[in-house]
Amino acid sequence: MKYLPLNPEIFIQNRQRFIKEMAPNSIAIFNSNDELPMNADALHKFKQNSDLFWLTGVIQEDSMLILFPDNPEKKFREVLVLVRPNELKEKWDGKRLRQDEALAASGIENIVWLDSIEPLLQKWVHWSDTIYLNTNEHDRKANWVPVRDYRYAEEMKRKYPLHNYKRSAQILKRLRAIKTPLEIEVLQKAIDITDNTFRRLLQFIKPGVWEYEIEAEIFHSFLMQRATGAAYGSIIASGDRARTLHYVSNNQECRNGEMILMDFGAEYGGYNADLTRTIPVNGKFTARQKKIYNTCLDLHNRCKELLKPGISIMEYHEKAGDVATELFLKAGLLKKTDVKNEDPDNRAYRKYLYHGISHHLGVDVHDLGTMTDPIKPGMVFTVEPGIYIEQEGMGIRIENNVWITKNGNKDLMKNIPITVEEIENLMKR
């Protein structure tokens, strides 16, 4: 890992929170992700299972976590399972975690090697009544490959068909959505790295620069600040390409008079920032660009005010649509007849804003969390309205990350330049 060691109390607290939700005399088992083949003899870069990382802080293949809080053998109530270090394999692939290193990262004292876990696990399962197994229950999951979690669930049900099985994902969806202050500290570090990178770009961008050069500056800046890398594929979209929401080609020249939409964020310590800014390539907004930008910024600020405990994300998006309608009328993008005759299922403002405005953020960029239950203190959301005008080849999006607290929202990106004046002044220098 490139980042500095994290406070293991993060993961100790997360496990304690999960254990409180477990049924009596139950055991919970979590597995790492697979190492996925690419082509020839190559593997894709390993990405740890987010739930296992959230509970342990361990980023290593072939690892497991076993939680059995009522285990009669008290020392085995928390067990971290790791692959046994192999001298020959380490010569090729690098060093694997030793027991003291795993303890320092996770706070788990009992480490068992993977090649000796089966007889122990069989005994513990026989002593338990309920088995918690984990699968990906993100509402927008798109991957149906039979990954390790699903294969393991089938194997356990075959070996132990008479046990009661429960879904860890139901608990994790609630818990992971609410960040502890220690988690926010790590997330803020990812955001600060992203802030520094954006300020660097304001000095770098000028007419004639290519989108891929900007992407390279982002990645360079992230790595120089100990980030793991980019939280997701950076969107660097100049001119009309900004209207493509997930534009990732990043292969065109940025021309004088255009605006450039940049959606990027650093990953640090397993937590992800998610920033979007739209700036003029030449450092100066035209009058029209400034008007539409400020309309988007007004919408951004109004949406942050709407995002409060008690409202669901679905309700919030409906209210945000009302605000968008109001502001788009004021800006001349919509006419009163457009609103009067709108389809309730495809409202008039959707012509210029055709995506959601907020999502959960954390260990995953689109983090776990409900869209229908009331928002609670501790949740972190993006706020990212946009305005996209096909006739003018214009796309603007403004995005910050907001932490919901009992005492009001905290904009974790409040220090990142956002106004027309801030952006122009920094680009001028």
154-210 pLDDT, tens per residue? 999 999 999 999 999 999 999 999 999 999 999 999 999 999 999 999 999 999 999
> Which positions ≥6 away from 426 have C-beta within 8 Å?
199, 202, 203, 417
Q: How far is CA 377 from CA 135, 160, 310, 381, 403, in A?
A: 26, 39, 9, 11, 8
Contact 6, 105 (CB under 8 A): yes
- E strand or H helix that includes residue 230: strand 229-230
The string of pLDDT tens digits covering residues 38-68 is 999 899 999 999 999 999 999 999 999 999 9
Q: Binning pLDDT at 50, 70 and 90, where does residue 93 land?
A: confident
- E strand or H helix that includes residue 388: strand 386-389
User: Cα(269)–Cα(190) distance, rounded to whole angstroms?
Assistant: 8
Q: Binning pLDDT at 50, 70 and 90, where does residue 144 land?
A: confident
| Domains of the chain (ranges, CATH numbers) | 9-172 (3.40.350.10), 181-428 (3.90.230.10)
Contact 272, 365 (CB under 8 A): yes
pLDDT of residue 146: 86
Residue labelled with tokens 């096909």 = 390
Q: What is the mean pLDDT of residues 343-349?
A: 95
Report the chain's mean pLDDT, rounded to a whole number: 96
pTM: 0.96
pLDDT of residue 140: 82
